[in-house]
Amino acid sequence: MKLQRKNGRGLRALTVGAVAVSGALVLTSCGSDDNAKDGAATNTAAASNIKCDGSGQLLASGSSAQKNAIDAWVQTYTTACKDTQINYKDIGSGGGITEFLQGSTAFAGSDSALKPEEVTESKKICKGGQGINLPMLGGPIAIGYNVSGVDNLVLDAPTIAKIFDSKIKKWDDPAIKKLNPDAKLPSTEIQAFHRSDESGTTQNLGKYLGKAAPKDWGYEDEKSWPAKGGQSASGSSGVASQVKQTDGAIGYFELSYATSQKINTVKVDTGAAEPVEATSDNASKAIAAAKVVGKGKDLAMDLDYTTKVEGAYPIILVTYEIACDKGNKADTLDAVKSFLTYTASKDGQSILTEEGYAPLPEEIANKVRETVPTLS
């Protein structure tokens, strides 16, 4: 694993992310050489395998959890496909689905599959077809924390649920002490941060807590934060920034945000022999048990949040790229198929571990590779 790598793609993702704060991310071939001098050979090798179709600007929006992966993918893709610009706005899964259903984007990124009513609504945009879920990457939802003097922290699902539901309010609570008998836990007030925007990351955390701690988390797994109390911030980057700068803070976000900002992450007591760290490899062990439950070309997946497999990290998500199976706009169809063909390819998937994500299981990746060329 290369999660701590400070050069190459990891640094480029951070640099691009800083630029994106001031506006939508637009990466073109004009800038890719300058941004990637230290990794030019790697980019060129991957880019040489990309088949470029279409041109112009490709608009997409959605999941902030996948933003660092999108940055890396776009950089390599536009090295090869110099006539295509890709503009991806990381506005959260809910915002991305809304824009897709309004017909203003070519595809959306979402950490949760489309709901039945959203599939129905998509038929207005996808003439003769409907929106489908194409899994493109997986990863752990890290529980990041900032507690002075505590560098190693273990929590279980009931304790995490009570913390985010404002039922455990101090770091030296007996429930936390029991899980961390050797830690010097302060009496600091817990500052729990959650997403202010509609987020698939929120929904997947809710699914985990609802399955793994049903007695302590009595909320529906929705994209909007359901519990009272706590503090909010926009996007995974916003939550991570607040945790980084606030003593006593805890929050949830995709692993690469913890890695890039050097935020400590919780090890989860799943009932296995040892608590499990949030890593790409450990998330992959949990995602490997997922099943495709979508019908036809739809590849929506059912994740196992209660796994007790040794080394399997249970707080996971799969990010989908949502596109029309039929009825895609003619002026963007070729570019969408070309870009998603690359992201699902072996070259595209190989980038993910370096960025803190989990590549798709090969069986799922092959299904995506078979489906993307059939979009029309």
Per-residue pLDDT of the chain (376 residues; tens, 9 = 90+): 333 333 333 333 333 333 333 333 333 333 333 433 444 444 555 677 899 998 899 999 999 989 999 999 999 999 999 999 999 999 999 999 999 999 999 999 999 999 999 999 999 999 999 999 999 999 999 999 999 999 999 999 999 999 999 999 999 999 999 999 999 999 999 999 999 999 999 999 999 999 999 999 999 999 999 999 999 999 999 999 999 999 999 999 999 899 999 999 999 999 999 999 999 999 999 998 889 999 999 999 999 999 999 999 999 999 999 999 999 999 999 999 999 999 999 999 999 988 889 999 999 999 999 999 999 9
pLDDT of residue 46: 64
- Which stretch of DSSP H or E encloses residue 133? strand 131-146
pLDDT of residue 373: 98
Residue bearing tokens 């925007």:
197
Q: What angle do CA 340, 106, 294 make, to 5 degrees?
A: 65
Identify the bridge partners of residue 86 per DSSP, sorted by sequence position.
27, 58
HSE-up of 180 (CA within 13 Å, CB side)? 23
pLDDT of residue 43: 55
Helix/strand number for the chain, H first, E second = 15, 14
Tens digits of per-residue pLDDT, 35-47?
Answer: 334 444 445 556 7
Residue bearing tokens 């077809």:
129
φ/ψ of 86, rounded to 5, equals: -120, 120
191 with 207: CB under 8 angstroms? Answer: no
The residue extents of the domains of the chain are 8-138+321-374, 141-286
pLDDT averaged over the chain? Answer: 88
pLDDT of residue 347: 96
CA distances (Å), 194 to each of 29, 96, 197, 198, 253, in order?
A: 36, 19, 9, 11, 9
**Tokens (6 digits) for 154:** 């273990």
Taking the CA atoms of 115, 337, 126 and 225 in sequence, report the sign of the dihedral they define. Answer: positive
Identify the bridge partners of residue 51 per DSSP, sorted by sequence position.
none
pLDDT of residue 35: 39
Q: Any idea which fold 141-286 has?
A: D-Maltodextrin-Binding Protein; domain 2 (3.40.190)
HSE-up of 66 (CA within 13 Å, CB side)? 32
**DSSP one-letter string for 181-242:** TTS----PBPEEEEESS--HHHHHHHHHHHHH-TTT--S---SS--SSSSEEESHHHHHHHH
Distance CA 268, CA 277 (A): 7
Residues with Cβ < 8 Å from 350, sequence gap 6 or more? 46, 359
3-state secondary structure of 170: strand
Q: What angle do CA 6, 7, 12 make, to 5 degrees?
A: 105
pLDDT of residue 13: 36
- CATH hierarchy code of domain 8-138+321-374: 3.40.190.10
> Is the fold of 8-138+321-374 the same as that of 141-286?
yes
pLDDT of residue 45: 54
Tens digits of per-residue pLDDT, 241-268?
Answer: 999 999 999 999 999 899 999 999 999 9
pLDDT of residue 249: 98
